[in-house]
Amino acid sequence: MNAIAIPEKGRHRAVIEGVTPQVDTGRHPIKRIVGESVVVEADIFADGRDLLSAVVKHRPQKTAEWSETPMELLPNDRWRGRFVVTEPGRYGYTIEAWVDHFKSWRQDLQKKLEVQKDVSLEIVSGAKFIEAAAGRATAPDAERLRDWAAELRTGNCATGSSMVERALNETMAGLMERYSDRRFATTWENELSVMVEPERAQFSAWYEMFPRSFATEPGKHGTFKDCEAQLPRSAGMGFDVLYLPPIHPIGKSFRKGKNNHPVCEPDEPGSPWGIGAAEGGHKSIHPELGTLEDFRRFVQRVGDHGLELALDIAFQCSPDHPYVKEHPEWFSHRPDGSIQYAENPPKKYQDIFPFDFECEDWWSLWQELKSIFEFWIEQGVGIFRVDNPHTKTFAFWEWCVDELKRRDPGLIFLSEAFTRPKVMYHLAKMGFTQSYNYFPWRNGKDELTDYFTELAGGPLADFFYPNLWPNTPDILPRYLQDGGRAAFIVRLVLAATLGASYGIYGPAFELCENTPRDPDGEEYLNSEKYEIRRWDLRSPQSLEKLIGQVNRIRRENPALQCNRRLKFHPVDNEQLLAYTKSTEDGTDTILTVVNLDPHHRHYGWLELPLEEFQLESRRTYQMHDLLTDARYLWRGPRNYVELDPGKMPAHIFRLRRHVRTERDFDYFM
């Protein structure tokens, strides 16, 4: 007969279940921003009537020593604790819980006192818990605990208090909590992790520009020095990040011509994403843009204007890229021995060779691709927009991004993955800081409400940070094609207020360019991807001032700097969308109302849950429109709104509560 093994932790009575937040049972880290709280919850219980204690244990993963914060008991055996993350990088966290015999003794003592039962023996019996705690304590706490235990045992209360008062002393109870008996504590089986990102990872406004289109002379190819002249304008509009498409030499073989024509004229510049030529590859600069020294100077000048530079990383090669000759084993080959170009049937990209991540020499390929990031980091770049990461193996990204962030946890990676939801979200779990998403195609009230409710709350909010782009060089949505200037304003306001991070494909958006190449397509006519453009930035059609105003509103209102705490509100008109964002402490609340129809005036009655905003139904409150500076006095939960797209298709209201001072002076704050 086989002996029954004695459980190793047979006296560990606390049970810990349902720990949140965690991503895929702890396989991947959650994400938070420097300065944010991580709120940890769990179901914690034990057999019998004994009370429990629990703590959240947390530490930067580079540190061996744990810090602790106590957890509080919520209804139904749910517990909650929190800690604040203070620096970029990975943190670990877990939960420890135990049966707290001292707390149980104290509770029983109080219950017996309520029914006027003699508790003299109970008071004496509590001394054993206090003496044990004294053995775990450090001086002088140990001495205080021993004196307290002696008082309870002898009944000689030196302070003049009654024995009951002394037994229930709150200060001494605090010492007992500090030196609680954890010999049989249960620790959650998995150490969970949180990736702490810099502030820019959550809150940022991006401006995309093609440097070659900003030459001072018509017909010339722009340079980095030319682009320096644009920095005051970009900074003046309130952008945080200046994003450049690939800046590398462009291949000549199969170079695409104007409007993506398969035949390129001799003077046409080709697509910047056709990377690599005789002058070099991913670690080289297009000679007409300038030198590496010019680039370093440009990075410095970008920083001088309060901006950060984001660089496009596209892991693909033109047929002329040095990698093609030096490492043909990194590419797939067709039966005739030629290298397989990129395809997305029926589309063909003969000017691009994708890497083969399943090749025999995959490890050398991985190391070389990582070194591309490392090269540009050495030049001062800390933000990268990664082209089509969903077409490269997930394992590479998990390894590469983790390696890079271990050295510099302040790096930011934007995933350009317009792909299936599960793939998009998995890339975020692999380490990408932000992601493009389906915003360009979410136009109706219901689809906007459903999509952003999903992104702003629930499991996605723990690891997926959306970056909203109303247009890109590849995407001119039908809404912008058909809606005129008002449509661009609508999408600007939505992008800037629904998300904490957003971006625009610069001059094309601010000048409201909306002509498609094909009637049923989303490609721009005369796309800047394939030719050098000359932009009339002084056009009366320009949205430059409005963009600057919207970005200023974002910077001045912390409610708009986070993706959480987004809530939609009923309006009895399907063309009017209303939503609020608030800070955690409720001191800043922004209500945005948008007319989704760029052609017609719409009005309706909007309902707000006054109690959530600490408003009294019988008192007025002020709605200050930060776009027009108009102020409206509202009363009660239901109020009238009207928006004419010919004037302004949106309100961005700051809620100002009614306050009465001691001198009976009314004002709004």
CB under 8 Å, gap of 24 or more: what pairs does 418-422 form? 418/475, 419/390
Closest CA to 450 of 561, 560, 559, 566: 566
Catalytic residue positions? Answer: 387, 416
Q: What spatial distance separates the first Cα and last Cα of the chain, rounded to whole Å? A: 78
Please give the structure tokens belonging to residue 135: 């053995």
- Residue found by looking up tokens 């998403």 in the block: 437
Q: What is the mean pLDDT of residues 59-78?
A: 96
3-state secondary structure string, 15-61? EEEEEECCECCCCECEEEECCCEEEEEEEEECCCCCCEEEEEEEEEC
Amino acid at 627: L
In the prediction, which pLDDT does 661 show? 46
Quick check: 366 pLDDT over 90?
Answer: yes
Q: Over pLDDT 70: what percentage of the chain? A: 97
Q: What is the mean pLDDT of residues 365-373?
A: 98
**Residue, of 5 and 283, whose pLDDT is higher:** 283
In the prediction, which pLDDT does 665 show? 44
In the prediction, which pLDDT does 160 show? 45
Three-state DSSP at 525 gives: coil
Q: Where are the alpha helices (H) located in 350-477, listed in sequence order?
A: 362-378, 394-407, 421-429, 445-456
CA 509 to each of CA 229, 512, 527: distance values in angstroms, whole numbers, following the listed order: 20, 5, 13
User: In what helix (H) or strand (E) does residue 508 lie, and over which residues does it extend?
Assistant: helix 506-510
Q: Where are the alpha helices (H) located in 519-656, listed in sequence order?
A: 544-556
In the prediction, which pLDDT does 658 show? 61
The chain-wide mean pLDDT, for the chain, equals: 94
Closest CA to 224 of 250, 249, 244: 244
What pLDDT digit, counting tens, does each position of 190-221 carry? Answer: 899 999 999 999 999 999 999 999 999 988 99
Of 167-176, 404-413, 512-521, where does mean pLDDT reach its minimum?
167-176
CA distance 200 to 240: 8
The torsion angle over the Cα atoms of residues 478, 481, 484 and 489, rounded to 10 degrees, is 60
Of 66-80, 91-105, 574-588, 645-659, where does mean pLDDT reach its minimum?
645-659
CB under 8 Å, gap of 24 or more: what pairs does 416-423 form? 416/385, 416/386, 416/387, 416/388, 416/389, 417/388, 417/389, 417/390, 418/475, 419/390, 423/390
Of 140-154, 265-279, 471-485, 488-502, where does mean pLDDT reach its minimum?
140-154
**Are the beta carbons of 20 and 41 closer than 8 angstroms?**
yes
Positive or negative torsion for Cα 332, 335, 339, 342:
negative
Q: What is the mean pLDDT of residues 272-297?
A: 98
Amino acid at 575: Q
- Residue found by looking up tokens 């009923």 in the block: 570
In the prediction, which pLDDT does 664 show? 43
**Are the beta carbons of 32 and 21 closer than 8 angstroms?**
no
Please give the structure tokens belonging to residue 34: 């420097």
CA 264 to each of CA 253, 271, 401, 437, 514: distance values in angstroms, whole numbers, following the listed order: 10, 11, 37, 32, 25
In the prediction, which pLDDT does 120 show? 81
The two beta strands, 204-208 and 89-99, are: unpaired
Positive or negative torsion for Cα 353, 359, 361, 367:
positive
What pLDDT digit, counting tens, does each position of 36-56 carry? Answer: 999 999 999 999 999 999 999
Half-sphere exposure in the Cβ direction for 99 (13 Å, CA): 14
**Are the beta carbons of 222 and 214 closer than 8 angstroms?**
yes
Phi-psi region of 292 (alpha: psi -120 to 50; beta: other; left: phi over 0): alpha
Q: Hey, which of 171-175, 188-192, 312-316 has the most confident mean pLDDT? A: 312-316
Q: What is the DSSP string of 77-101?
A: TEEEEEEE--SSEEEEEEEEEEE-H
Query: Hey, which residues does 16 pair with through a beta bridge?
Result: 44
Three-state DSSP at 550 gives: helix
Q: Which domains does the chain have, with CATH numbers?
A: 15-100+185-196 (2.60.40.10), 102-178 (1.20.58.80), 199-443+451-471+515-526 (3.20.20.80), 444-450+472-514+527-669 (2.60.40.1180)
**Are the beta carbons of 48 and 3 closer than 8 angstroms?**
no
Quick check: 352 pLDDT over 70?
Answer: yes
The two beta strands, 192-197 and 30-33, are: parallel
**Residue, of 147 and 298, whose pLDDT is higher:** 298
Cβ neighbours for 378, distance < 8 A, ≥ 6 positions apart: none
What pLDDT digit, counting tens, does each position of 641-651 carry? Answer: 999 999 999 99
pLDDT band, very low/low/confident/very high, at 161 (cuts 50, 70, 90): low
In the prediction, which pLDDT does 157 show? 54
The predicted model scores a pTM of: 0.94
What pLDDT digit, counting tens, does each position of 389-423 carry? Answer: 999 999 999 999 999 999 999 999 999 999 999 99
What's the DSSP call for residue 461? Answer: G
Phi-psi region of 497 (alpha: psi -120 to 50; beta: other; left: phi over 0): alpha
CA distance 578 to 567: 9
Q: Where are the alpha helices (H) located in 312-361, listed in sequence order?
A: 322-326
Closest CA to 252 of 233, 267, 242: 267
CA distance 191 to 503: 36
